[in-house]
């Protein structure tokens, strides 16, 4: 159970996004822009940054869901994410991406931890200004998302396999329905939860 009464039968941040429509819509648009909007970094690379920061923040929901999204984009059977969980330097990604992940990892600790040396290392590996900018912004934003999810004690999915379908949905985008449709979407969520519960019994 979350620390607040939402009456939204969804795991993780989805529960919170539909609990309060205006903030949910704004946060969904931010995630969609950061992870799927214009950027020299691919969506798969940006999902790796989100998964990396979420792992360092020990936010299980965000790490597992964005790992699933990264897997969906990269289509490598989870190899890159498996390496990320052990040592980012073993990942089958470019040297540039490894250095950008170094920067993201420092942002997770504090923006002040990002040094000129880290920036220079990323530049030498081929990163441009926009890639460095997007890395820092995604890392900072996911610190917020992680703290939002865990700070309100949201629930995890019932089964680990649920993240697979979640990742496929996230690959397509983070669009929020028009606010006038929010009550209907919540009604659908509740109906689906009742059907699932009845089947389980």
User: What pLDDT sits at residue 197?
Assistant: 78
User: What pLDDT sits at residue 120?
Assistant: 98
Q: What is the reported pTM?
A: 0.95
User: What pLDDT sits at residue 109?
Assistant: 98
Rounded to whole angstroms, the Cα distance separating 66 from 127 reads: 23
Residue ranges of the chain with pLDDT lower than 50?
Answer: none
Q: DSSP label at 39?
A: -
Please give the tally of structural domains in the chain.
1
User: What pLDDT sits at residue 1?
Assistant: 67
Output the six-digit token pair for 102. 């170094």
Q: Report whether 51 contacts 72 (CB < 8 A).
A: no
Q: What is the DSSP string of 98-131?
A: HHHHHHHHHHHH-GGG--HHHHHHHHHTT--HHH
Range of the domain at 83: 12-200
User: What pLDDT sits at residue 201?
Assistant: 66
Q: Is residue 1 part of a domain?
A: no
| Nearest alpha carbon to residue 63 among 143, 2, 152 | 143
Q: Is residue 4 part of a domain?
A: no
Q: Is residue 6 part of a domain?
A: no
HSE toward the beta carbon, residue 22, CA cutoff 13 A = 0
Query: What's the CATH number where 96 sits?
Result: 1.20.1290.10
């Amino acid at each position: 159970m979350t620390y607040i009464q939402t009456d939204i039968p969804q795991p993780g941040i989805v529960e919170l996004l539909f609990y309060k429509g205006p903030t949910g819509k704004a946060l969904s648009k931010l995630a969609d822009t950061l992870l799927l909007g214009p950027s020299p970094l691919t969506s798969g690379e940006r999902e790796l940054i989100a998964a990396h920061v979420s792992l360092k923040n020990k936010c299980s929901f965000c790490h597992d869901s964005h790992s699933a999204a990264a897997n969906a984009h990269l289509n490598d059977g989870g190899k890159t994410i498996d390496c990320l969980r052990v040592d980012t330097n073993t990942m089958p990604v470019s040297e540039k991406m490894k250095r950008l992940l170094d920067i993201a990892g420092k942002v997770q600790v504090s923006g002040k931890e990002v040094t000129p040396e880290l920036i220079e290392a990323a530049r030498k590996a081929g990163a441009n200004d926009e890639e460095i900018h997007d890395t820092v912004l995604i890392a900072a934003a996911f610190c917020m998302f992680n703290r939002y999810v865990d700070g309100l004690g949201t629930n995890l999915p019932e089964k680990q396999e649920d993240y697979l379908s979640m990742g496929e949905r996230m690959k397509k985008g983070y669009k929020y329905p028009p606010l006038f449709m929010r009550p209907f979407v919540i009604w659908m969520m509740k109906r689906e939860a009742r059907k699932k519960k009845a089947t389980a019994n």
